[in-house]
């Protein structure tokens, strides 16, 4: 079982992001899929500088799981199952609350989600990225306004604003009036 989990993480959390960036967040995350039913598709306000909270969430999750293994808890499968269920309920509760507080469906993804601790570093080097054809771009800013993750897709450099946040939702591509993306 440990080998399967190791292979899963190597592929899903390292190799996948090297190819697709945070495309996982746009197409396979259960929490994001549920949150996308909420009314705030486009963020109503500028991004907050509280992304550091995700590292606390990650550390708490890691400490919890490590403590279970180190304590050699009996019936660990049952404990992990209930932790999974309760954790998902908490994710949805926090995600929905943040969406309404910040008027942004993706607030959970931007500030709390612990999975991005793995995805963000690899996403920096992602091969599949939205690129801008500067010859066609008229700098209308529509791509930035419709991006749920506040990514500046008009900058093709690896250092673009929020570049590791792109979830490949393609809203920018769909809404570009000049087909520059």
Of 174, 124, 115, whose CA–CA distance to 19 is shortest?
A: 124
The pLDDT value given to residue 73: 87
State both tokens at 100: 């309404």
The pLDDT value given to residue 8: 59
Average pLDDT score over residue span 172-180: 95
pTM: 0.76
- Answer for the pair 137, 179: CB distance below 8 angstroms, yes or no: no
The pLDDT value given to residue 177: 95
Of 176, 168, 120, 116, whose CA–CA distance to 144 is shortest?
A: 176
Alpha carbon 170 to chain centroid, angstroms: 14
pLDDT, tens only, 80-114:
899 989 988 998 899 999 999 999 999 998 899 88
The answer on pLDDT for 124 being more than 60 is yes
State both tokens at 19: 């190819």
pLDDT, tens only, 24-77:
777 777 788 888 889 988 888 888 889 899 999 999 988 998 999 899 888 888
The pLDDT value given to residue 2: 53
User: Between these two residues, 27 and 176, which has the higher pLDDT value?
Assistant: 176
The pLDDT value given to residue 18: 72
* Band of pLDDT at residue 6, cut at 50, 70 and 90: low
> Structural domain boundaries of the chain?
2-128
Q: What are phi and psi of 169, to 5 degrees?
A: -75, -20
The answer on pLDDT for 136 being more than 90 is yes
The pLDDT value given to residue 139: 93
């Amino acid at each position: 079982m440990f080998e399967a989990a190791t292979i899963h993480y190597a592929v899903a959390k390292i190799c996948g992001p090297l190819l697709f960036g945070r495309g996982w967040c746009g197409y396979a995350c259960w929490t994001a899929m549920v949150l996308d039913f909420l009314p705030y598709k486009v963020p109503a306000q500028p991004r907050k500088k509280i992304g550091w909270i995700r590292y606390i969430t990650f550390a708490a999750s890691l400490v919890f799981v490590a403590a279970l293994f180190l304590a050699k808890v009996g019936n660990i499968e049952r404990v992990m199952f209930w932790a999974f269920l309760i954790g998902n309920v908490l994710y949805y509760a926090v995600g929905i609350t943040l969406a309404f507080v910040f008027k942004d469906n993706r607030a959970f993804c931007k500030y709390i989600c612990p999975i991005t601790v793995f995805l963000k570093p690899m996403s920096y080097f992602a091969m599949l990225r939205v690129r801008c054809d500067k010859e066609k771009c008229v700098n209308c800013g529509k791509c930035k306004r419709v991006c749920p993750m506040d990514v500046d897709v008009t900058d093709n450099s690896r250092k673009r604003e929020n570049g590791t946040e792109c979830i490949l939702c393609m809203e920018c591509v769909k809404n570009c009036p000049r087909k520059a993306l």
